[in-house]
Structure 1
């Protein structure tokens, strides 16, 4: 199975992840600083800034694009609960 590396620059932590892993899953397991309120109905709290490797992430869904637009997110921002690491090296920090 293909793998990628995911670096959380806010806590200087890099992990190897299987392709298809969502950023929020790893953030939770590793104690990185990405917060989220999805389970409480507060969509958009997990906006994450992609510093490097955006080309190694899944294509944003229509829902993700809508939530990013509603939250005035920047062009390099993604929802950690939606985007998946597909391979390569990705560096992120909380948005």
Structure 2
């Protein structure tokens, strides 16, 4: 199974995960500062900045792209609940 490396710059932690894992799942396990309000109906709170490895994430879905536009997200921002690591290395921090 393919592996990927994710670095959470806010807590200086790097982990190796299976390809296809969503960033929010990893963030919860390592205690990173990416918050989310999906369960309370506050979509867009898990906004993160991808500082390296943008190409190693899944493409934004139509829904994610819509939420990013509504939140005036920058070029390298993604929603942690939607972005999946495909392989290689990715470095992120809360937006």
Q: Could you say whether these structures have the same fold, taking a TM-score greater than 0.5 normalized by the shorter chain as the test?
A: yes
Instruction: Verify: 1:36 aligned to 2:36, yes or no.
Output: yes
Q: CA deviation at 1:67?
A: 0.1
Corresponding residue for residue 47 of structure 2: 47
The CA RMSD over aligned residues, in Å, is 0.3
Scaled by the length of structure 1, the TM-score of the pair is 0.99
Shift in Å at residue 65 of structure 1?
A: 0.2
CA distance in 2, matches of 1:32, 1:71: 21
- Moved runs in structure 1, 4+ residues, more than 2 A? none
Q: Secondary structure at the match of 1:21?
A: coil
**Alignment gaps of 5+ in structure 1:** none
User: Residue 8 of structure 1 aligns with which residue?
Assistant: 8
Please list, as runs of the form range in 1=range in 2, the aligned pairs for 1:1-95 lying within 5 A after superposition: 1-95=1-95
Higher strand share: 1
- Give the whole-Å Cα distance in 2 for the aligned partners of 1:64 and 1:10: 23
Name the TM-score, length of structure 2 as normaliser. Answer: 0.99
